[in-house]
């Protein structure tokens, strides 16, 4: 039971860690795209970490805001809607593998919360349940605009769900199984075997559908400020709004995780296969740590010399200096440790764990990259009109997905 | 050629009216003169054929002029026709009354003649068919076929509450005949799937079964005869029917009930008859007295004659129930007599109606002065219907009453009471209509009978006198049939008695 | 075939006259009086001559009756009825009376009916009447007798209602026919009872209703039973009921007084001479049967006597000349039935003959008075007509003396014989009643004579103007009849007075038993009784003279004195009103409100026919209520049905 | 857990669905109870397929689900139409086919 | 395993009862979702993963959303309040009838023997289901495809509002 609970814990913790980074990235990215500084005020003892600390007060703000329930709203549905969306969002992460399965004496130990051979279908099922949250929220808050917003959001999510599922069928054909672990396995040969190369069209379609699925930018009609104020969650305040907000970001994380696992080889380290990785795991770690130490030392120096023009008159001015000193000390320690202890020597399980750790790191890097991708799209592309959105969904992407399916099936059969 | 004609004379008699009717259809409605001529010709032709029947009727027991051909072998129905003492004179009566009816309605029916004569001819075929059928299925077919044209005649050409009367007439008879149908079906199955009457008469049925079957047949025929409680359709049907219609209805259709008793109910179920005899006789006698008494208070002449026919047919039923040769012969003879007298009376009332369009006695008074010939004929018919000796009804009534005194003493004494009341209501009507001062001016211009009406009434008057004075010519032919009937019934009853004694 | 001609001749006359009357009426032409007279009177006269020719051998003592068999009327199975004629002494007497008196009356009515519009029709009816009377008399079996019986009833209906414009006259005709019909029903029942008795025993072609055959079967009849009563008693009782109906005895006499509505010769012929005597003839013809039923004879006697007395009382106060004569006929008939009742059939017939003569003469006399007074019948407006109508008054006087029973005239002998026979056969009470009736008869007859012919003339002026003696053809009949009524008595001269009572021996009716019984009394008693009756008659005549000599004032005063009795008598003991109240009205009420409306209309029509129709319609509507379009209800039914099926499946 | 347990549950669902259809006047809820009945049937199919070791049961269940989807689509379209016509979804409102009693 | 069965079946029954007893259709819809989820769980215990997922995907994910769509679009809630709860006696009678029904069927079912057959490897998984679908039941599969299309078009034609104020689309 322990391993089972551990397996569940890891994805959950993973999401909760990535979430604040993603929020920070979103705000920082948006500001830099809009040529402005992002959040840089909040600090703990002067350390601002480039605005990342700001998310903490954000969260606290949301929690402690006054919780207003509109009169004559359907109280039960109004309150339950955010919880549904949040739980649904978190549940999908269970299926995503974050590292190669460990070969233990008692059989392989999959490093994913739920090793289901229905895999992908599970995700889509849960995604379709997600629609409930949105609809009930829109309807529960007894406000015409939120109702319209809820309707639009749900209809959009439903129609793009179709394209989403059809676009990945190509991948399924190639990988031969719905189980995500197996899909990643099928991409393990080399960078060329990654699906975004074998399935370029599928990848693009999946990407666009994923963005639409999470109601992000080009497709974020429901929350379009201009027309529907804040869409289905206009009436929500404090914690319930926070839940919706987080649910949205979790959805995006999952979308990017899916993109990574399905098309970009999941936890596959680009050029090193798992076995290779396992043999040289100790070597790689040793050298990477070493590189990290040297890097931090070199990095701390320019930081130290940097004079910021802005004087806040409080602890923030000296922040860069304190950071640069910290980096310097850390780098020295790393280098010393690495050189002193010499190469690690893992064999058997320890090697596998080390390899898994590496793969996990790569996997997180991929997710972050795609999160950045989402943010990037959001603050560059203009918004679609509703009928254009539907037009694109039904008349453009669906045929393309079918075409892609057709081609891959044809090729697969002939080859 | 002649013996071909003689062989299936019955076919000729029965189907000529139908041919006439079909011929009528071909003539356009405008040519009503031709319609009348053709109708009259067909009907008279049928009468001629039936005369042949009379001449060549050998006075031997059993059926004459038999025609026997398998008709629907699947259900065992044969096309069997035959005439014997009972049906001969009724056939004659039907074929005689028809020309009179047609001749009379030539004057009185002015619109929709084609459908009127068509219905009449169909009615005649049905009547003749019922009388001559020896196969029960064929009998039932014609029996039902009779209703439809009569229904139309009353329904379309009648006056006053004609639709109500037509429906009532139809449904009353239908209820009875449906029960009969059940009995027929049961009997057919009993007689191994054959509908022939001869096969049926050989059947030995247990008394209880006989009782039920007899009840079914008796009910169907009792409605038609109008025995007492089931008679309310008759006055309505008669008063609302057109003259020709009520003539045929009274003349022949009522006799179907009694004929049915004679042909089916009595011979087939002797034991049940033994049990039911007193009951039906009492009902008949009640009918006689009831009919006479109610006739006394009628305001409408036709209705009075209708109730009088209930009373007269009560006599016939009494005769049938007594089952002695005299009584049954008298009953059959009385059927023919009543047919003549009541048809005659309806004819006369019809004539009055054509002239003054009212049948209420109160509207008349003292017309004897105006129409002496009409009064003379009417008086003869009145005395015939009262059964004055020398007229036909007296012979019938005498035979019935003398025959049935032994079997049903109490009923007979009550029945003779009916004779008195008969005289009362007829003379009361005659006195109110004919005698007394002629006050009403509407009657001043009353014309006497024209030649056509005299021609209609003449045969009836002649027959009334002839059948009164020289009845033997008719009785001898009926006698044989009654002889066979009473003997068969006696044997069965005796057999049963002896059986009972042994048990 | 000679006898047949007697019947056919009048029939022929009737047909010819009838056809002539109808065609003239239709073609609006005048009736040729000559032809009608010749046919109407001539043919009956010829019939009279033939009858005479056939009758003389009998009068001269021939025993063997003449039989003629015309044709077989009804023959069904073992029942044979022949239309045969039979002439023996009794029927010769009757035929002679009928044809004789009939011809005279025909002659008389030529004058009487001269101006009438239905002249030919009248003669046709009269001839028809003669035919049916002759059939009645000449018929050799009961059926033919009944045929004549009803025929006569028919003709009396036609003749009484001859002037049918007048409502009262038409109703009188109807009343006569219906009352006769009630009697006839009794007669019919008698015939049927006889038929039931004789039929089983009859041989293959036995003619059971012939009189001779019945006489031959008398042994079987006396012994057998009908409806648990002795056969002869029942049959004779029924026949007697028929007789009362026809001859107007107590219960059914009411039609005779009203029958006066007809023309007077009709009353003379039918209600005096012939028809009413049919009952007496029938009993005489069936004397062998009646002898065997002593109880019926006893009843007949009682009824006869009471009718005689009863009618005599009423006649005393009647004011209409014909009504008086009508009641006198009823009482004389009472006498005849009294004779029959005591077994003296011959004397009954003898009285019948004498009565025919003097009653016809009286009626014709009154006819000529009415003719002279141009239709006036009320004796209170007459008086002192002797001078104006000498012959009529003379003949009327002779007839009155006859009927009163004065010695030289016929009635004295016949009536006396009857009284003597009643007394000698041990019925003293009946004899007294008979005597009183005789007193009454003498009183009212002379009252009538005095009031009409003698005394102060109360005739109104214009009637007095054309008061004239009736023409010869009318007075001839009167004279002949008067002479006959005077002379006829001597036929039955009793031994006691030296005659050898020819008529009784000639007819030798009835079994000798009755004869033997009477012989015991001595001749002296007979003479004594004869003297008493003559005394009574003369006393009555004197009383009448005293009372009515000087007009009506005196009698009216006395009438007012004994008002209740007088009213009772003038209203004929309220008999008509009683009949009407207890017979006619209840039957009418019964049939009108109970039978017709309640049973016919309400019970059968309403309840059975309409009500059942409406019930079916109601049934239909309440079933349709289930279809109320409510979807859930249908689903519920599905569920119910499914559960039911499940239940069935589970439990077996 | 033996098959009877699963079947009892299936029957329970089925009868609850049936009652729902009969009881509820609102067409939508009745429609949902029909879905409930279908699910009851599905469960019995799958239970049988599990205990008979034969995949056919599941295939049948699969097709039932498809059928339910199609039926829901058309059913709801009809309900929308009914609503648009009568303004309410109460089954008591749709009584036009009622037999006019007493005509 | 048995506890799981009892929990899930209790949940299913309760939510089923909730479906038919809630006055507001939205609540019944939601309780129907719960029923479906519990059934999906039951399917899993019966080794029918493919169907469990299909159940959630189509039933909960599509059909019920359609329901809620309809409820929301027609905002039925208001007039639902008018629907008065059926008379008490009707509910009792129905409950009795339901009980009787249940007992009858249960009586039928009771006789079934409880032994479970040996399951083949991969029983109920997507692969085996997929294989079966495309071999043995391929015809049924295609027909159901057609059926769904027909249903789609049908629903569209039925519910398409003839917008009379918009000019008829020229297609």
Residues in chain D within 8 Å Cβ distance of C631: 91, 94
C349 and C489 fall within a common domain: yes
Same domain flag for C373 and C519: yes
* Band (C517; pLDDT cuts 50, 70, 90): very low
Q: What is the rounded radius of gyration, in angstroms, for the C-alpha atoms of chain B?
A: 22
Please report the pLDDT score of residue C556 as a whole number.
Answer: 77
Residues in chain A predicted with pLDDT less than 70, given as ranges, are: 46, 106-107, 222-230, 310, 312, 314-316, 342-344, 346, 348
Domain count of the fold of chain B: 1
| Residue with the larger pLDDT of the pair C606 and A225 | C606
Confidence of residue B122 (pLDDT cuts 50, 70, 90): very high
- Kindly state the average pLDDT of the residues C91-95: 88
Quick: pLDDT tens for E26-46: 888 899 999 999 999 998 888
Q: Is E104 an interface residue toward C (CB < 8 Å)?
A: yes
pLDDT grade, residue C512 (50/70/90)? Answer: very low
Across the range C454-467, mean pLDDT stands at 76
Backbone phi and psi for residue A389, each to the nearest 5 degrees, phi listed first: -55, -50
Closest approach of C346 to chain B, Cα-based (Å) = 30
Please give the pLDDT value at position A335: 84
Q: What is the DSSP string of B402-440?
A: HHHHHHSHHHHHHHHHHHHHHHHHHHHHHHHHTSS----
In a domain, B352, yes or no: yes
**Residue C230: inside a domain, yes or no?**
no
Q: What values do phi and psi take at A350, rounded to 5? A: -60, -40
Query: What DSSP assignment string belongs to B295-313?
Result: HHT-SBHHHHHHHHHHHHH
Averaged pLDDT for residues B326-352: 91
CB atoms within 10 A of CB D11: 21
The answer to whether the beta carbons of residues A105 and A23 sit under 8 Å apart is no
Residues C419 and C549 both lie in one domain: yes
Q: What is the pLDDT of residue E37?
A: 92
CB-based touch E/B (3+ pairs, under 8 A): no
- Do E124 and D66 lie within an 8 Å CB cutoff? no
From chain E, the residues in CB contact with C643 under 8 A are 97, 100-101, 104
pLDDT class of B41 with cuts at 50, 70, 90: very high
Which residues in chain E are closer than 8 Å to D55, comparing Cβ atoms? 123-124, 128-129, 132
Say how many CB pairs under 8 Å bridge D and E. 231
Query: Is there an interface between C and E (3+ Cβ pairs < 8 A)?
Result: yes
Q: How far apart are CA D100 and CA A35, in angstroms?
A: 78
Surface-to-core class of residue A340, CB atoms within 10 Å of its CB (0-12 exposed, 13-18 middle, 19+ buried): exposed
Q: Residue A135 and residue E127: Cβ atoms within 8 Å?
A: no
User: pLDDT digits over C121-133, tens only?
Assistant: 899 999 999 999 9
- C631/D contact by beta carbon, under 8 A: yes
Tokens of C245: 């109906």
In the predicted structure, residue D59 carries a pLDDT above the cut 70: yes
Do C408 and C322 lie in one domain? The reply is: yes
User: Cβ contacts of residue B389 below 8 Å, gap of 6+?
Assistant: B398, B468, C143, C146, C147, C149, C150, C151
Q: Band of the pLDDT at B17, cuts 50, 70, 90?
A: very high
Q: What is the end-to-end Cα distance of chain C in Å, rounded?
A: 97
Contact A118 E56 (CB under 8 A): no
Q: Give yes or no for E60 touching A (CB within 8 A).
A: yes
What mean pLDDT is reported for chain C?
83
C-alpha pair distances (Å), A126 with each of A117, A131, A179, E16: 15, 9, 16, 22
- Measured in angstroms, the CA of A158 and the nearest CA of chain E are apart by 8
Q: Provide the pLDDT for residue C585.
A: 86
Query: Is the pLDDT reported for residue B134 higher than 60?
Result: yes
Average pLDDT over chain B, rounded to an integer:
87
What does the block give as tokens for C413? 């002998």
Handedness of CA A116, A121, A127, A128 (dihedral sign): negative
d(CA B318, CA B306): 19
The answer to whether residue B122 sits within a structural domain is yes
Same domain, C314 and C382: yes
Taking each helix axis from N to C end, the angle separating D27-52 and E64-73, rounded to the nearest 10 degrees, works out to 180
B-contacting chains (≥3 CB pairs under 8 Å): C
- Residue B287 phi/psi, 5-degree rounding, is -60, -45
Q: Answer whether residue C503 shows pLDDT above 80.
A: no
In this prediction, what percent of chain B has a pLDDT beyond 70?
98
CA A70 to chain centre: 33
Q: At what angle are helices B9-26 and B113-132 packed, to 10 degrees? A: 160
Confidence band for D100, pLDDT divided at 50, 70 and 90? low
Q: Does residue C76 lie in a domain region?
A: no
| Fold adopted by D3-101 | Helix Hairpins (1.10.287)
pLDDT at residue C455 tops 50: yes
Q: CA of E166, closest CA in chain C: separation in Å?
A: 36
Give the DSSP H or E segment for C488. Answer: none
Query: Phi and psi of A74, rounded to 5°?
Result: -80, 95
Tell me, yes or no, whether C334 and C471 share the same domain: yes
Residues A37, A53: Cα–Cα separation, whole Å: 15
Report d(CA C424, CA A142) in Å as an integer.
137
The SS3 call for residue A264 is coil
What Å distances lie between residue E157 and C568, C606, D74, E153, CA to CA?
Answer: 109, 61, 10, 6
Within an 8 Å CB–CB cutoff, is residue E125 touching chain A? yes
Cβ atoms within 10 A of the Cβ of B94, count? Answer: 27
D-proximal residues of E, 41-100, CB under 8 Å: 42-43, 45-48, 50-51, 54-55, 58-59, 62-63, 66-67, 70-71, 73-74, 76, 79-80, 82-83, 86, 90-91, 94-95, 97-99
Closest-CA distance of chain E to residue D96, Å = 19
Distance from C-alpha of C15 to C-alpha of C127, rounded to nearest angstrom: 9
Residue C631 structural domain: 575-651
The helix/strand/coil state of A190 is: coil
Domain locations along chain D = 3-101
Give the pLDDT score at B117.
Answer: 92
Q: How far apart are CA C597 and CA C590, in angstroms?
A: 10
Q: Please tell me whether residues C438 and C550 are part of one structural domain.
A: yes
Chain E positions in Cβ-Cβ contact with residue C646 (cut-off 8 Å): 100-101, 104-105
**E112 exposed, middle or buried (CB, 10 Å; 0-12, 13-18, 19+)?**
middle
Segment (H or E) for A101: strand A99-104
Distance between CA atoms of residues B291 and B293, nearest Å: 6
CB C572 within 8 A of CB C314: yes
Tally of domains in chain C: 2
Q: Which chains sit next to E, with 3 or more Cβ pairs under 8 A? A: A, C, D
Is the residue at C511 inside a domain? yes
Distance CA B314, CA B281 (A): 8
Burial class (CB in 10 A: 0-12, 13-18, 19+), C17: buried
Cβ pair B332, B322 in contact under 8 A: no
ipTM comes to 0.62
- pLDDT bin (cut points 50, 70, 90) of residue E151 is very high
Confidence of residue D103 (pLDDT cuts 50, 70, 90): very low
Sign of the torsion formed by the C-alpha atoms of A267, A270, A274 and A278: negative
Are C509 and C600 in the same domain? no
Greater pLDDT, D90 or B115:
B115
Lowest mean pLDDT among A306-315, B356-365, B423-432, E21-30: A306-315
Contact C632 D99 (CB under 8 A): no
- Both C510 and C581 in one domain: the answer is no
Q: In Å, how far is E18's CA from the nearest CA of chain D?
A: 10
The residue written with tokens 């080859």 in the block is A415
Q: How far apart are CA B43 and CA B23, in angstroms?
A: 13
Backbone angles phi, psi at A229, to 5 degrees: 45, -105
Q: Give the residue ranges of DSSP H helices in C454-571.
A: 461-465, 472-487, 502-507, 512-519, 523-548, 553-561, 563-570
Give the position of tokens 């109703």. Answer: C171
pLDDT at residue C516, as a whole number = 43
The verdict on a CB contact (< 8 Å) between C628 and D18 is: no
Quote the pLDDT of residue C518: 47
């Amino acid at each position: 039971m322990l391993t089972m609970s551990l397996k569940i814990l890891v994805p959950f913790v993973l999401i909760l860690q990535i979430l604040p980074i993603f929020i920070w990235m979103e705000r920082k990215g948006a500001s830099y795209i809009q040529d402005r500084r992002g959040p840089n005020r909040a600090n703990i003892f002067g350390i601002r970490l480039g605005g990342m600390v700001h998310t903490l007060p954000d969260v606290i703000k949301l929690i402690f805001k006054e919780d207003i329930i509109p009169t004559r709203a359907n109280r039960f549905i109004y309150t339950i809607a955010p919880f549904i969306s949040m739980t649904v969002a978190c549940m999908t992460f269970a299926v995503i593998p974050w590292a190669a399965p460990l070969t233990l004496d008692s059989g392989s130990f999959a490093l994913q919360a739920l090793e289901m051979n229905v895999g992908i279908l599970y995700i889509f099922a849960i995604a379709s349940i997600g629609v409930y949250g949105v609809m009930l929220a829109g309807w529960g808050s007894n406000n015409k605009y939120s109702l319209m917003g809820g309707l639009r959001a749900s209809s959009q999510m439903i129609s793009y769900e179709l394209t989403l599922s059809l676009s990945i069928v190509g991948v399924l054909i190639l990988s031969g199984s719905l189980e995500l672990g197996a899909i990643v396995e099928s991409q393990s040969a080399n960078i060329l075997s990654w699906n975004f190369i074998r399935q370029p069209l599928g990848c693009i379609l999946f990407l666009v559908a994923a963005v639409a699925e999470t109601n992000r930018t080009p497709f974020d009609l429901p929350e379009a400020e201009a027309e529907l104020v804040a869409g289905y969650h206009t009436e929500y305040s404090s914690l319930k709004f926070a839940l919706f907000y987080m649910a949205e970001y979790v959805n995006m994380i999952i979308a990017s995780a899916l993109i990574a696992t399905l098309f970009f080889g999941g936890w596959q380290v680009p050029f090193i296969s798992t076995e290779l990785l396992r043999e040289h795991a100790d070597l790689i770690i040793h050298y990477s740590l070493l590189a990290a130490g040297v890097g931090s030392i070199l990095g701390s120096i320019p930081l130290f010399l940097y004079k910021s023009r802005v004087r806040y008159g409080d602890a923030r001015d000296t922040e860069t200096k304190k950071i640069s000193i910290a980096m310097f000390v850390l780098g020295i320690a790393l280098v010393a440790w690495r050189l002193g202890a010499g190469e690690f020597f893992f064999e058997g399980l320890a090697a596998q764990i080390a390899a898994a750790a590496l793969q996990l790191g790569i996997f997180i890097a991929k997710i972050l990259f795609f999160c950045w991708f989402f943010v990037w799209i959001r603050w560059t592309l203009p918004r679609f009109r509703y009928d254009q959105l539907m037009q694109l969904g039904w008349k453009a992407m669906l045929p393309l997905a079918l075409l892609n399916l057709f081609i891959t099936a044809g090729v697969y059969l002939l080859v | 050629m002649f013996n071909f004609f003689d062989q299936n004379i019955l076919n000729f008699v029965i189907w000529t009216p139908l041919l006439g009717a079909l011929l009528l259809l071909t003539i356009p409605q405008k040519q009503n003169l031709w319609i009348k001529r053709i109708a009259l010709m067909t009907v008279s032709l049928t009468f001629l054929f039936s005369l042949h029947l009379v001449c060549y009727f050998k006075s031997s027991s059993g059926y004459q002029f038999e025609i026997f051909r398998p008709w629907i072998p699947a259900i065992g129905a044969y096309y069997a026709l035959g005439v014997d003492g009972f049906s001969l004179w009724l056939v004659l009566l039907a074929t005689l009354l028809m020309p009179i009816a047609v001749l009379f309605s030539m004057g009185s029916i002015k619109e929709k003649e084609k459908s009127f004569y068509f219905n009449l001819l169909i009615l005649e075929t049905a009547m003749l068919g019922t009388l001559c059928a020896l196969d029960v299925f064929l009998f039932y077919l014609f029996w039902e076929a009779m209703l439809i044209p009569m229904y139309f005649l009353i329904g379309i050409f009648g006056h006053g509450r004609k639709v109500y009367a037509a429906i009532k007439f139809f449904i009353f008879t239908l209820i009875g005949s449906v029960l009969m149908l059940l009995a027929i079906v049961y009997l057919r199955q009993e007689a191994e799937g054959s509908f022939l009457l001869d096969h049926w008469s050989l059947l030995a049925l247990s008394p209880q079964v006989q009782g039920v079957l007899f009840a079914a047949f008796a009910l169907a025929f009792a409605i038609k005869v109008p025995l007492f409680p089931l008679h309310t359709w008759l006055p309505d049907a008669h008063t609302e029917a057109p003259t020709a219609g009520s003539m045929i209805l009274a003349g022949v259709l009522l006799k179907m009930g009694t004929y049915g008793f004679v042909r089916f109910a009595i011979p087939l179920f002797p034991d049940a008859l033994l049990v039911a005899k007193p009951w039906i006789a009492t009902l008949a006698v009640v009918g006689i007295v009831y009919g006479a008494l109610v006739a006394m208070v009628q305001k409408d002449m036709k209705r009075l004659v209708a109730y009088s026919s209930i009373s007269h047919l009560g006599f016939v039923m009494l005769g049938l129930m007594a089952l002695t040769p005299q009584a049954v012969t008298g009953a059959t003879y009385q059927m023919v007599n009543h047919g003549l007298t009541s048809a005659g009376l309806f004819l006369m009332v019809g004539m009055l109606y054509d002239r003054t369009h009212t049948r209420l006695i109160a509207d008349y008074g003292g017309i004897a002065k105006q129409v002496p010939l009409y009064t003379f004929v009417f008086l003869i018919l009145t005395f015939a219907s009262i059964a004055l000796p020398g007229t036909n009804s007296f012979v019938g009534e005498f035979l019935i009453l003398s025959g049935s005194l032994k079997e049903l003493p109490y009923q007979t004494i009550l029945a003779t009471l009916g004779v008195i009341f008969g005289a009362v209501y007829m003379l009361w009507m005659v006195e109110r209509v004919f005698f007394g001062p002629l006050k009403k001016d509407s009657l001043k211009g009353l014309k006497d009978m024209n030649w056509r009406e005299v021609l209609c009434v003449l045969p009836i008057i002649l027959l009334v006198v002839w059948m009164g004075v020289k009845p033997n010519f008719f009785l001898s032919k009926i006698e044989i049939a009654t002889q066979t009937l009473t003997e068969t019934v006696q044997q069965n009853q005796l057999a049963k008695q002896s059986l009972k004694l042994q048990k | 075939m000679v006898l047949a001609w007697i019947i056919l001749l009048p029939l022929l006359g009737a047909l010819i006259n009838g056809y002539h009357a109808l065609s003239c009426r239709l073609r609006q032409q005048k009736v040729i009086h000559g032809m009608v007279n010749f046919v109407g009177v001539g043919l009956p006269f010829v019939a009279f001559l033939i009858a005479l020719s056939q009758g003389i051998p009998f009068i001269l003592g021939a025993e063997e009756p003449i039989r003629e068999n015309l044709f077989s009327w009804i023959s069904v199975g073992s029942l044979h009825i022949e239309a045969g004629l039979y002439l023996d002494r009794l029927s010769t007497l009757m035929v002679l009376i009928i044809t004789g008196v009939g011809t005279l009356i025909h002659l008389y009515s030529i004058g009487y009916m001269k101006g009438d519009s239905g002249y030919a029709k009248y003669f046709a009816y009269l001839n028809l009447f003669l035919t049916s009377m002759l059939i009645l008399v000449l018929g050799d079996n009961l059926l033919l007798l009944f045929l004549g019986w009803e025929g006569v009833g028919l003709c009396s209906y036609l003749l009484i209602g001859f002037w049918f414009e007048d409502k009262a006259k038409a109703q009188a005709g109807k009343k006569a026919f219906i009352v006769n019909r009630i009697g006839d029903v009794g007669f019919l029942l008698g015939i049927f009872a006889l038929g039931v008795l004789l039929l089983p025993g009859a041989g293959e072609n036995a003619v059971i209703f012939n009189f001779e055959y019945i006489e031959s079967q008398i042994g079987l009849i006396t012994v057998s039973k009908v409806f648990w009563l002795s056969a002869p008693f029942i049959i004779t009782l029924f026949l007697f009921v028929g007789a009362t109906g026809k001859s107007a005895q107590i219960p059914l006499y009411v039609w005779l007084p009203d029958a006066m509505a007809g023309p007077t010769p009709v009353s003379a012929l039918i209600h005096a001479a012939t028809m009413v005597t049919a009952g007496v003839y029938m009993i005489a013809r069936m004397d062998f049967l009646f002898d065997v039923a002593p109880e019926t004879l006893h009843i007949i006697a009682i009824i006869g006597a009471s009718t005689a007395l009863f009618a005599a009382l009423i006649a005393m106060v009647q004011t209409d000349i014909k009504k008086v004569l009508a009641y006198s006929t009823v009482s004389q008939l009472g006498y005849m039935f009294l004779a029959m009742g005591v077994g003296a059939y011959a004397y009954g017939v003898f009285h019948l003959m004498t009565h025919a003569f003097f009653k016809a003469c009286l009626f014709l006399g009154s006819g000529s008075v009415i003719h002279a007074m141009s239709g006036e019948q009320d004796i209170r407006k007459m008086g002192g007509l002797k001078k104006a109508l000498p012959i009529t008054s003379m003949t009327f006087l002779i007839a009155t003396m006859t009927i009163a029973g004065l010695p030289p005239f016929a009635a004295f002998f016949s009536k006396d014989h009857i009284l003597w026979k009643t007394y000698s056969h041990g019925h003293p009470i009946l004899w007294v009643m008979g005597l009183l009736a005789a007193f009454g008869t003498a009183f009212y007859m002379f009252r009538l004579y005095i009031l009409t012919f003698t005394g102060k003339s109360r005739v109104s002026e214009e009637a007095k103007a054309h008061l004239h003696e009736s023409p010869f053809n009318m007075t001839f009949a009167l004279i002949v009849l008067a002479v006959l009524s005077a002379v006829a008595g001597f036929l039955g001269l009793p031994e006691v007075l030296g005659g050898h009572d020819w008529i009784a021996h000639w007819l030798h009716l009835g079994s000798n038993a009755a004869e033997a019984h009477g012989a015991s009394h001595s001749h002296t008693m007979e003479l004594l009784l004869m003297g008493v009756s003559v005394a009574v008659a003369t006393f009555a005549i004197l009383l009448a003279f005293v009372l009515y000599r000087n007009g009506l004032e005196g009698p009216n005063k006395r009438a007012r004195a004994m008002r209740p009795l007088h009213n009772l008598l003038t209203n004929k003991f309220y008999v008509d009103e009683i009949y009407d109240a207890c017979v006619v009205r209840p039957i009418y009420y019964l049939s009108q409100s109970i039978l017709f409306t309640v049973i016919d209309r309400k019970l059968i029509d309403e309840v059975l026919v309409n009500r059942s129709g409406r019930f079916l319609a109601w049934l239909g509507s309440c079933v349709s209520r289930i279809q109320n379009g409510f979807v859930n209800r249908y689903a519920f039914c599905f569920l119910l049905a499914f559960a039911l099926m499940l239940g069935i499946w589970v439990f077996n | 857990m033996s098959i009877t347990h699963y079947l009892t549950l299936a029957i329970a669902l089925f009868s609850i669905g049936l009652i729902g259809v009969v009881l509820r006047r609102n067409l939508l809820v009745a429609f949902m109870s029909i879905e409930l009945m279908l699910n009851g049937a599905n469960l019995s199919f799958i239970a049988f397929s599990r205990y008979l070791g034969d995949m056919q049961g599941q295939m049948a269940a699969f097709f039932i689900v498809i059928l339910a989807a199609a039926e829901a689509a058309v059913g709801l379209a009809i309900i929308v139409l009914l609503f648009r016509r009568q303004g309410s979804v109460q089954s008591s409102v749709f009584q036009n086919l009622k037999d006019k009693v007493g005509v | 395993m048995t506890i799981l069965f009892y929990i899930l079946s209790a949940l299913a029954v309760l939510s089923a009862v909730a479906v038919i007893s809630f006055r507001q259709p939205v609540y019944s819809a939601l309780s129907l979702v719960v029923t479906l989820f519990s059934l999906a769980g039951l399917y899993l215990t019966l080794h029918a993963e493919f169907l469990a997922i299909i159940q959630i995907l189509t039933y909960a994910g599509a059909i019920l959303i359609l329901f809620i769509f309809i409820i929301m679009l027609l905002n039925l809630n208001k007039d639902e309040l008018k629907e008065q709860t059926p008379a008490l006696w009707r509910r009792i009678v129905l409950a009795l009838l339901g009980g009787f029904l249940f007992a009858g069927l249960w009586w039928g079912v009771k006789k079934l023997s409880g032994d479970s057959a040996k399951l083949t490897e991969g029983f109920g998984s997507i692969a085996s289901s997929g294989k079966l679908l495309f071999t043995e039941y391929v015809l049924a599969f295609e027909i159901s495809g057609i059926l769904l299309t027909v249903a789609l078009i049908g629903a569209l034609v039925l519910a398409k509002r003839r917008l009379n104020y918009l000019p008829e689309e020229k297609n």
